[in-house]
Structure 1
Amino acid sequence: MELTNRFTVPAPVEQAWTRLLDLPAIAPCLPGATLTGFDGDDFTGTVKVKLGPISLTYKGTGHIRERDEEAHRVVVEASGRETRGPGTATATITATLAADGDDTRVDVTTDLTVTGRPAQFGRGMLGDVSTRLLDQFADCLGNQLRPSAPPEEPAETESPGTTPAAVTPPSPETTAVPEEATPIDLLEVTGAQALARRAAGYALAFVAGALVATAIARLRRRAR
Protein backbone atom coordinates (compact mmCIF):
# COMPACT_ATOMS: atom_id res chain seq x y z
CA MET A 1 0.00 0.00 0.00
CA GLU A 2 1.12 3.57 -0.66
CA LEU A 3 0.92 6.22 2.04
CA THR A 4 1.53 9.93 1.53
CA ASN A 5 2.32 12.49 4.22
CA ARG A 6 3.60 16.05 4.53
CA PHE A 7 5.14 18.02 7.37
CA THR A 8 7.09 21.26 7.87
CA VAL A 9 10.21 21.92 9.92
CA PRO A 10 11.36 25.38 11.09
CA ALA A 11 14.70 25.54 9.25
CA PRO A 12 16.09 26.44 5.82
CA VAL A 13 16.05 23.61 3.31
CA GLU A 14 19.84 23.10 3.27
CA GLN A 15 19.97 22.79 7.05
CA ALA A 16 16.97 20.43 7.12
CA TRP A 17 18.50 18.32 4.33
CA THR A 18 21.80 17.93 6.18
CA ARG A 19 20.07 16.95 9.41
CA LEU A 20 17.64 14.55 7.73
CA LEU A 21 20.58 12.54 6.35
CA ASP A 22 22.34 12.44 9.73
CA LEU A 23 21.02 9.05 10.90
CA PRO A 24 22.51 9.04 14.44
CA ALA A 25 21.08 12.52 15.05
CA ILE A 26 17.53 11.82 13.88
CA ALA A 27 17.27 8.23 15.18
CA PRO A 28 15.92 9.35 18.60
CA CYS A 29 13.11 11.15 16.73
CA LEU A 30 11.85 7.92 15.12
CA PRO A 31 9.11 6.51 17.42
CA GLY A 32 9.87 2.96 18.57
CA ALA A 33 13.12 2.77 16.57
CA THR A 34 16.67 2.13 17.77
CA LEU A 35 19.64 2.56 15.43
CA THR A 36 22.08 -0.28 16.15
CA GLY A 37 24.65 0.42 13.43
CA PHE A 38 25.37 2.41 10.30
CA ASP A 39 28.07 2.46 7.66
CA GLY A 40 27.77 5.04 4.91
CA ASP A 41 24.41 4.49 3.23
CA ASP A 42 23.67 1.23 5.07
CA PHE A 43 22.17 0.90 8.53
CA THR A 44 20.68 -1.64 10.94
CA GLY A 45 18.15 -1.23 13.70
CA THR A 46 15.13 -2.46 15.59
CA VAL A 47 11.54 -1.23 15.84
CA LYS A 48 9.32 -2.09 18.80
CA VAL A 49 5.56 -2.19 18.38
CA LYS A 50 2.72 -2.91 20.83
CA LEU A 51 -0.75 -4.16 19.98
CA GLY A 52 -2.34 -3.66 23.37
CA PRO A 53 -0.81 -6.37 25.59
CA ILE A 54 1.17 -7.90 22.69
CA SER A 55 4.74 -6.66 22.11
CA LEU A 56 6.52 -7.14 18.80
CA THR A 57 10.13 -6.39 17.89
CA TYR A 58 11.28 -6.08 14.31
CA LYS A 59 14.96 -6.41 13.50
CA GLY A 60 16.00 -5.17 10.11
CA THR A 61 18.31 -3.39 7.71
CA GLY A 62 18.07 -0.34 5.50
CA HIS A 63 19.86 1.35 2.64
CA ILE A 64 19.81 4.84 1.15
CA ARG A 65 19.15 3.89 -2.46
CA GLU A 66 19.10 7.38 -3.93
CA ARG A 67 20.40 10.75 -2.77
CA ASP A 68 19.80 13.77 -5.03
CA GLU A 69 21.54 16.77 -3.48
CA GLU A 70 20.25 19.25 -6.07
CA ALA A 71 16.58 18.19 -5.90
CA HIS A 72 16.80 17.47 -2.14
CA ARG A 73 15.29 14.04 -2.73
CA VAL A 74 16.22 10.85 -0.90
CA VAL A 75 14.95 7.29 -1.31
CA VAL A 76 15.39 4.79 1.52
CA GLU A 77 14.68 1.06 1.40
CA ALA A 78 14.16 -0.82 4.66
CA SER A 79 12.98 -4.28 5.66
CA GLY A 80 12.53 -6.11 8.94
CA ARG A 81 11.28 -9.33 10.45
CA GLU A 82 9.71 -10.15 13.81
CA THR A 83 12.28 -11.60 16.20
CA ARG A 84 9.68 -14.00 17.66
CA GLY A 85 7.14 -14.42 14.91
CA PRO A 86 6.56 -14.77 11.18
CA GLY A 87 5.61 -11.13 10.55
CA THR A 88 7.59 -8.99 8.12
CA ALA A 89 7.62 -5.36 7.03
CA THR A 90 9.22 -3.75 3.98
CA ALA A 91 9.10 -0.11 2.97
CA THR A 92 10.44 2.18 0.28
CA ILE A 93 10.37 5.75 1.57
CA THR A 94 10.80 8.75 -0.70
CA ALA A 95 11.26 12.16 0.92
CA THR A 96 11.45 15.41 -1.04
CA LEU A 97 12.36 18.71 0.63
CA ALA A 98 11.37 22.15 -0.66
CA ALA A 99 11.70 25.66 0.68
CA ASP A 100 8.52 27.06 2.22
CA GLY A 101 9.43 30.63 3.15
CA ASP A 102 11.96 30.38 5.98
CA ASP A 103 10.85 26.81 6.67
CA THR A 104 11.16 23.50 4.82
CA ARG A 105 8.28 21.40 3.54
CA VAL A 106 8.87 17.64 3.48
CA ASP A 107 6.71 15.41 1.27
CA VAL A 108 6.95 11.72 2.13
CA THR A 109 5.67 8.78 0.09
CA THR A 110 5.88 5.30 1.64
CA ASP A 111 5.33 2.07 -0.28
CA LEU A 112 4.60 -0.29 2.62
CA THR A 113 4.05 -4.04 2.82
CA VAL A 114 3.20 -5.64 6.19
CA THR A 115 2.48 -9.25 7.11
CA GLY A 116 1.57 -10.78 10.46
CA ARG A 117 -0.52 -9.31 13.24
CA PRO A 118 -0.16 -5.60 12.31
CA ALA A 119 -1.64 -6.46 8.91
CA GLN A 120 -5.06 -6.66 10.63
CA PHE A 121 -5.09 -2.85 10.51
CA GLY A 122 -6.59 -1.67 7.24
CA ARG A 123 -5.18 0.96 4.93
CA GLY A 124 -7.11 3.73 6.67
CA MET A 125 -5.79 2.90 10.14
CA LEU A 126 -2.22 2.36 8.91
CA GLY A 127 -2.46 5.74 7.19
CA ASP A 128 -3.59 7.29 10.47
CA VAL A 129 -0.68 5.63 12.30
CA SER A 130 1.74 6.91 9.66
CA THR A 131 0.44 10.47 9.96
CA ARG A 132 0.59 10.54 13.75
CA LEU A 133 4.09 9.03 13.90
CA LEU A 134 5.40 11.46 11.28
CA ASP A 135 3.86 14.33 13.28
CA GLN A 136 5.85 13.16 16.30
CA PHE A 137 8.98 12.86 14.18
CA ALA A 138 8.47 16.36 12.73
CA ASP A 139 8.03 17.87 16.22
CA CYS A 140 11.24 16.22 17.43
CA LEU A 141 13.17 17.24 14.30
CA GLY A 142 11.86 20.79 14.61
CA ASN A 143 13.07 20.98 18.20
CA GLN A 144 16.53 19.85 17.06
CA LEU A 145 16.69 22.49 14.32
CA ARG A 146 15.38 25.45 16.31
CA PRO A 147 18.26 27.73 17.38
CA SER A 148 19.07 27.24 21.04
CA ALA A 149 19.39 30.12 23.47
CA PRO A 150 22.98 31.30 24.03
CA PRO A 151 24.48 29.91 27.25
CA GLU A 152 24.71 32.28 30.18
CA GLU A 153 28.18 33.37 31.17
CA PRO A 154 29.17 31.97 34.58
CA ALA A 155 29.54 34.51 37.33
CA GLU A 156 33.12 35.15 38.49
CA THR A 157 33.56 33.78 41.98
CA GLU A 158 37.36 33.83 42.31
CA SER A 159 38.85 36.68 44.26
CA PRO A 160 42.18 38.26 43.26
CA GLY A 161 45.22 36.25 44.29
CA THR A 162 43.46 32.90 44.51
CA THR A 163 44.79 29.88 42.72
CA PRO A 164 42.60 28.68 39.86
CA ALA A 165 40.93 25.35 40.44
CA ALA A 166 42.58 22.35 38.85
CA VAL A 167 41.11 21.28 35.57
CA THR A 168 40.05 17.65 35.41
CA PRO A 169 41.36 16.00 32.25
CA PRO A 170 38.70 14.58 29.95
CA SER A 171 37.96 10.89 30.40
CA PRO A 172 38.79 8.46 27.58
CA GLU A 173 36.12 8.07 24.96
CA THR A 174 33.75 5.18 25.44
CA THR A 175 31.58 3.36 22.97
CA ALA A 176 28.04 4.72 23.15
CA VAL A 177 25.35 2.14 23.78
CA PRO A 178 22.13 2.94 21.91
CA GLU A 179 19.24 3.70 24.24
CA GLU A 180 16.27 1.38 23.77
CA ALA A 181 13.31 3.19 22.28
CA THR A 182 9.84 3.12 23.83
CA PRO A 183 7.57 0.75 21.84
CA ILE A 184 4.89 2.23 19.58
CA ASP A 185 1.45 1.28 20.93
CA LEU A 186 -0.62 1.16 17.75
CA LEU A 187 -3.91 0.95 19.62
CA GLU A 188 -3.03 4.03 21.66
CA VAL A 189 -1.78 5.95 18.63
CA THR A 190 -4.95 5.36 16.64
CA GLY A 191 -7.35 5.69 19.54
CA ALA A 192 -8.49 2.12 18.85
CA GLN A 193 -7.89 1.23 22.48
CA ALA A 194 -10.66 3.55 23.63
CA LEU A 195 -12.87 2.24 20.84
CA ALA A 196 -12.17 -1.34 21.88
CA ARG A 197 -13.02 -0.53 25.50
CA ARG A 198 -16.26 1.14 24.42
CA ALA A 199 -17.18 -1.85 22.27
CA ALA A 200 -16.39 -4.17 25.16
CA GLY A 201 -18.72 -2.14 27.39
CA TYR A 202 -21.52 -2.41 24.84
CA ALA A 203 -20.90 -6.14 24.51
CA LEU A 204 -21.06 -6.66 28.28
CA ALA A 205 -24.27 -4.66 28.49
CA PHE A 206 -25.78 -6.73 25.66
CA VAL A 207 -24.77 -10.02 27.34
CA ALA A 208 -26.13 -8.85 30.69
CA GLY A 209 -29.41 -7.84 29.05
CA ALA A 210 -29.66 -11.19 27.28
CA LEU A 211 -29.09 -13.06 30.54
CA VAL A 212 -31.78 -11.04 32.33
CA ALA A 213 -34.24 -11.60 29.48
CA THR A 214 -33.53 -15.35 29.56
CA ALA A 215 -34.05 -15.51 33.33
CA ILE A 216 -37.39 -13.65 33.07
CA ALA A 217 -38.57 -15.98 30.30
CA ARG A 218 -37.76 -19.03 32.45
CA LEU A 219 -39.63 -17.60 35.44
CA ARG A 220 -42.70 -16.98 33.26
CA ARG A 221 -42.62 -20.56 32.00
CA ARG A 222 -42.46 -21.90 35.55
CA ALA A 223 -45.31 -19.64 36.65
CA ARG A 224 -47.56 -21.18 33.97
Structure 2
Amino acid sequence: MRLEHEFTVPAPVGTVWTALVDPERVAPCMPGATLTGVDGEKFTGTVKVRLGPITLMYKGSGEFLETDEDSRRMVMKASGKDVRGNGTAAATVTAVLSEVDGGTRCEVVTDLSITGRPAQFGRGLIAEVGGKIIDQFADCLASGLGTEEAGGDTAPEAPEDTAVSQQHLRAVPDQAEEVEAIDLLGTAGVPVLKRALPLVLGLAVVALVVSRLRRHR
Protein backbone atom coordinates (compact mmCIF):
# COMPACT_ATOMS: atom_id res chain seq x y z
CA MET A 1 0.00 0.00 0.00
CA ARG A 2 1.05 3.59 -0.63
CA LEU A 3 0.93 6.07 2.25
CA GLU A 4 1.54 9.81 2.00
CA HIS A 5 2.36 12.12 4.92
CA GLU A 6 3.67 15.63 5.36
CA PHE A 7 5.10 17.53 8.31
CA THR A 8 6.93 20.79 8.98
CA VAL A 9 9.98 21.30 11.18
CA PRO A 10 10.89 24.82 12.40
CA ALA A 11 14.55 24.52 11.40
CA PRO A 12 16.60 25.35 8.26
CA VAL A 13 16.35 22.82 5.47
CA GLY A 14 20.10 22.12 5.58
CA THR A 15 19.93 21.25 9.27
CA VAL A 16 16.94 18.96 8.81
CA TRP A 17 18.57 17.23 5.84
CA THR A 18 21.75 16.47 7.81
CA ALA A 19 19.70 14.90 10.60
CA LEU A 20 17.35 12.98 8.33
CA VAL A 21 20.13 11.06 6.56
CA ASP A 22 21.86 10.14 9.83
CA PRO A 23 20.29 6.99 11.37
CA GLU A 24 21.95 7.63 14.73
CA ARG A 25 20.21 11.00 15.03
CA VAL A 26 16.72 10.03 13.88
CA ALA A 27 16.40 6.56 15.45
CA PRO A 28 15.80 7.89 18.99
CA CYS A 29 12.81 9.83 17.62
CA MET A 30 11.07 6.84 16.06
CA PRO A 31 8.63 5.25 18.54
CA GLY A 32 9.56 1.70 19.48
CA ALA A 33 12.78 1.68 17.44
CA THR A 34 16.30 0.76 18.48
CA LEU A 35 19.28 1.18 16.19
CA THR A 36 21.62 -1.77 16.66
CA GLY A 37 24.30 -1.10 14.05
CA VAL A 38 25.44 1.27 11.32
CA ASP A 39 27.81 0.41 8.50
CA GLY A 40 28.07 3.13 5.88
CA GLU A 41 24.75 3.44 4.02
CA LYS A 42 23.37 0.34 5.74
CA PHE A 43 21.96 -0.12 9.22
CA THR A 44 20.24 -2.70 11.41
CA GLY A 45 17.68 -2.32 14.13
CA THR A 46 14.57 -3.52 15.90
CA VAL A 47 11.03 -2.19 16.32
CA LYS A 48 8.72 -3.21 19.15
CA VAL A 49 4.98 -3.10 18.49
CA ARG A 50 2.16 -3.66 20.98
CA LEU A 51 -1.22 -4.68 19.60
CA GLY A 52 -3.63 -5.04 22.49
CA PRO A 53 -2.31 -7.93 24.62
CA ILE A 54 0.18 -8.98 21.95
CA THR A 55 3.74 -7.63 21.72
CA LEU A 56 5.68 -8.13 18.51
CA MET A 57 9.40 -7.58 17.95
CA TYR A 58 10.63 -6.97 14.42
CA LYS A 59 14.30 -7.35 13.57
CA GLY A 60 15.54 -6.10 10.27
CA SER A 61 17.87 -3.99 8.22
CA GLY A 62 17.78 -1.07 5.84
CA GLU A 63 19.87 1.06 3.56
CA PHE A 64 19.84 4.43 1.88
CA LEU A 65 19.27 3.90 -1.83
CA GLU A 66 19.53 7.59 -2.67
CA THR A 67 20.66 10.71 -0.80
CA ASP A 68 20.63 13.65 -3.21
CA GLU A 69 21.59 16.71 -1.19
CA ASP A 70 21.05 19.12 -4.12
CA SER A 71 17.39 18.15 -4.51
CA ARG A 72 17.00 17.27 -0.81
CA ARG A 73 15.61 13.87 -1.78
CA MET A 74 16.21 10.70 0.18
CA VAL A 75 15.13 7.15 -0.63
CA MET A 76 15.46 4.42 1.98
CA LYS A 77 14.50 0.76 1.92
CA ALA A 78 13.98 -1.31 5.04
CA SER A 79 12.53 -4.71 5.90
CA GLY A 80 12.05 -6.78 9.01
CA LYS A 81 10.57 -9.97 10.35
CA ASP A 82 8.79 -10.69 13.61
CA VAL A 83 11.14 -12.76 15.77
CA ARG A 84 8.35 -15.28 16.46
CA GLY A 85 7.57 -15.72 12.79
CA ASN A 86 4.18 -13.98 12.99
CA GLY A 87 4.68 -11.60 10.09
CA THR A 88 6.92 -9.39 8.02
CA ALA A 89 7.13 -5.71 7.13
CA ALA A 90 8.92 -3.98 4.27
CA ALA A 91 8.93 -0.37 3.18
CA THR A 92 10.51 1.94 0.67
CA VAL A 93 10.42 5.50 1.98
CA THR A 94 10.95 8.57 -0.17
CA ALA A 95 11.34 11.92 1.59
CA VAL A 96 11.69 15.31 -0.10
CA LEU A 97 12.55 18.46 1.84
CA SER A 98 11.71 22.02 0.86
CA GLU A 99 12.08 25.39 2.55
CA VAL A 100 8.89 27.05 3.75
CA ASP A 101 8.38 30.14 5.96
CA GLY A 102 11.79 29.85 7.58
CA GLY A 103 11.29 26.17 8.32
CA THR A 104 11.34 22.89 6.42
CA ARG A 105 8.50 20.90 4.90
CA CYS A 106 9.05 17.17 4.61
CA GLU A 107 6.89 15.19 2.19
CA VAL A 108 7.06 11.46 2.83
CA VAL A 109 5.77 8.70 0.56
CA THR A 110 5.89 5.15 1.87
CA ASP A 111 5.34 1.99 -0.17
CA LEU A 112 4.48 -0.45 2.59
CA SER A 113 3.96 -4.19 2.66
CA ILE A 114 2.80 -5.94 5.85
CA THR A 115 1.89 -9.52 6.66
CA GLY A 116 0.72 -11.02 9.94
CA ARG A 117 -1.39 -9.53 12.74
CA PRO A 118 -0.86 -5.79 12.07
CA ALA A 119 -2.08 -6.32 8.50
CA GLN A 120 -5.55 -7.09 9.90
CA PHE A 121 -6.00 -3.39 10.64
CA GLY A 122 -6.60 -2.69 6.96
CA ARG A 123 -5.38 0.20 4.85
CA GLY A 124 -7.51 2.90 6.50
CA LEU A 125 -6.43 2.16 10.06
CA ILE A 126 -2.79 1.64 9.11
CA ALA A 127 -2.74 5.01 7.31
CA GLU A 128 -4.31 6.74 10.32
CA VAL A 129 -1.95 5.15 12.83
CA GLY A 130 1.03 5.77 10.53
CA GLY A 131 0.15 9.44 10.31
CA LYS A 132 0.10 9.82 14.08
CA ILE A 133 3.41 8.01 14.44
CA ILE A 134 4.90 10.37 11.85
CA ASP A 135 3.56 13.31 13.90
CA GLN A 136 5.30 11.97 17.02
CA PHE A 137 8.51 11.54 15.05
CA ALA A 138 8.28 15.09 13.66
CA ASP A 139 7.68 16.61 17.11
CA CYS A 140 10.72 14.81 18.52
CA LEU A 141 12.89 15.79 15.57
CA ALA A 142 11.77 19.42 15.78
CA SER A 143 12.50 19.49 19.51
CA GLY A 144 16.01 18.10 19.02
CA LEU A 145 16.83 20.43 16.15
CA GLY A 146 15.43 23.36 18.10
CA THR A 147 17.89 22.58 20.89
CA GLU A 148 20.68 22.42 18.35
CA GLU A 149 19.72 25.76 16.81
CA ALA A 150 19.73 27.30 20.28
CA GLY A 151 23.31 26.15 20.77
CA GLY A 152 22.64 23.09 22.87
CA ASP A 153 23.21 19.46 22.03
CA THR A 154 23.88 18.68 18.37
CA ALA A 155 21.34 15.86 18.24
CA PRO A 156 18.13 14.75 19.94
CA GLU A 157 18.98 13.36 23.35
CA ALA A 158 18.69 9.59 23.18
CA PRO A 159 18.07 7.30 26.13
CA GLU A 160 21.02 5.14 27.08
CA ASP A 161 19.17 2.07 25.85
CA THR A 162 19.10 3.39 22.26
CA ALA A 163 22.65 4.75 22.14
CA VAL A 164 24.95 3.51 19.41
CA SER A 165 28.64 4.30 19.20
CA GLN A 166 29.35 6.90 16.52
CA GLN A 167 32.86 5.58 16.03
CA HIS A 168 32.18 2.05 14.79
CA LEU A 169 29.57 -0.61 14.23
CA ARG A 170 28.37 -2.00 17.55
CA ALA A 171 25.63 -4.48 18.35
CA VAL A 172 23.40 -3.93 21.37
CA PRO A 173 20.89 -6.81 21.25
CA ASP A 174 19.93 -6.76 24.95
CA GLN A 175 18.93 -3.09 24.90
CA ALA A 176 16.15 -3.57 22.37
CA GLU A 177 13.96 -5.25 25.01
CA GLU A 178 14.07 -2.10 27.18
CA VAL A 179 12.57 0.22 24.57
CA GLU A 180 8.87 0.95 25.00
CA ALA A 181 6.80 -0.65 22.24
CA ILE A 182 4.66 1.33 19.82
CA ASP A 183 1.15 1.03 21.22
CA LEU A 184 -0.80 0.83 17.97
CA LEU A 185 -4.23 0.96 19.59
CA GLY A 186 -3.22 3.69 22.03
CA THR A 187 -1.75 5.73 19.19
CA ALA A 188 -4.85 5.25 17.10
CA GLY A 189 -7.13 6.77 19.74
CA VAL A 190 -10.72 6.05 20.75
CA PRO A 191 -12.43 6.38 17.31
CA VAL A 192 -10.02 3.92 15.73
CA LEU A 193 -10.16 1.66 18.76
CA LYS A 194 -13.93 1.31 18.33
CA ARG A 195 -13.48 0.24 14.72
CA ALA A 196 -10.74 -2.20 15.70
CA LEU A 197 -12.62 -3.59 18.72
CA PRO A 198 -13.49 -6.97 17.13
CA LEU A 199 -9.80 -7.56 16.39
CA VAL A 200 -8.77 -6.50 19.91
CA LEU A 201 -11.33 -8.81 21.52
CA GLY A 202 -10.20 -11.68 19.31
CA LEU A 203 -6.56 -11.17 20.29
CA ALA A 204 -7.53 -10.90 23.96
CA VAL A 205 -9.39 -14.23 23.80
CA VAL A 206 -6.45 -15.90 22.07
CA ALA A 207 -4.05 -14.54 24.69
CA LEU A 208 -6.31 -15.78 27.51
CA VAL A 209 -6.60 -19.29 26.03
CA VAL A 210 -2.85 -19.54 25.49
CA SER A 211 -2.21 -18.36 29.05
CA ARG A 212 -4.53 -20.99 30.53
CA LEU A 213 -3.05 -23.74 28.39
CA ARG A 214 0.43 -22.84 29.61
CA ARG A 215 -0.73 -22.90 33.25
CA HIS A 216 -2.44 -26.25 32.73
CA ARG A 217 0.76 -27.72 31.27
Q: Under TM normalisation by the shorter chain, which class is it?
A: 0.7 to 0.9
- Aligned mates of 2:196, 2:15 — CA distance in 1: 44
- Aligned mates of 1:59, 1:40 — CA distance in 2: 19
The unaligned stretches of length 5 or more in structure 2 are 153-166, 199-217
- Aligned mates of 2:23, 2:197 — CA distance in 1: 40
Match of 2:207 in 1: none
Residue 50 of structure 1: SS of its match in structure 2? strand
Q: What's the CA shift for 1:147?
A: 3.8
- The letter of the residue matching 1:56 is L
- The letter of the residue matching 1:94 is T
- The letter of the residue matching 1:30 is M
Match of 1:75 in 2: 75
| Shift in alpha-carbon separation, 1:196–1:124, aligned structure 2, 3 A | closer
User: What TM-score comes out, normalization by structure 2 length?
Assistant: 0.75
| 8 Å CA contact retained: 2:36, 2:171 | no
Q: Counterparts of 1:136-155 in structure 2 under 5 Å?
A: 136-147=136-147
Instruction: After superposition, give the CA deviation of every residue in 1:121-153 in whole Å (9 maximum; x if it has no partner).
Output: 1111000111000000000000011146668xx
Match of 2:188 in 1: 190
Match of 2:46 in 1: 46
| Shift in alpha-carbon separation, 1:113–1:12, aligned structure 2, 3 A | same
Q: Counterparts of 1:1-224 in structure 2 under 5 Å?
A: 1-147=1-147, 180-191=178-189, 194-195=193-194
Percent identity, aligned pairs only, is 53
> Over aligned residues, Cα RMSD in angstroms?
2.5
Q: What's the CA shift for 1:30?
A: 0.4
Q: What's the CA shift for 1:44?
A: 0.2
User: What TM-score comes out, normalization by structure 1 length?
Assistant: 0.73
- The letter of the residue matching 2:188 is T
- The letter of the residue matching 1:10 is P
Q: What's the CA shift for 1:106?
A: 0.1
Report the number of matched residues.
Answer: 178
Instruction: After superposition, give the CA deviation of every residue in 1:29-67 in whole Å (9 maximum; x if it has no partner).
Output: 001110000111100000000110000000000010011
- Aligned mates of 2:196, 2:122 — CA distance in 1: 19
More helix, by proportion: 2
- Aligned mates of 2:74, 2:16 — CA distance in 1: 13
Q: What's the CA shift for 1:85?
A: 2.0
- Aligned mates of 2:193, 2:5 — CA distance in 1: 25
Instruction: After superposition, give the CA deviation of every residue in 1:151-188 in whole Å (9 maximum; x if it has no partner).
Output: 8xxxxxxxxxxxxxxxxxxxxx9x89556421011111
- Aligned mates of 1:93, 1:39 — CA distance in 2: 19
- Aligned mates of 1:185, 1:11 — CA distance in 2: 29
Instruction: After superposition, give the CA deviation of every residue in 1:102-134 in whole Å (9 maximum; x if it has no partner).
Output: 100000000000000111011110001110000
- The letter of the residue matching 2:67 is R
| Shift in alpha-carbon separation, 1:130–1:18, aligned structure 2, 3 A | same
- Aligned mates of 2:65, 2:100 — CA distance in 1: 26
Q: What's the CA shift for 1:191?
A: 2.2
- Aligned mates of 2:30, 2:100 — CA distance in 1: 23
| Shift in alpha-carbon separation, 1:196–1:82, aligned structure 2, 3 A | same
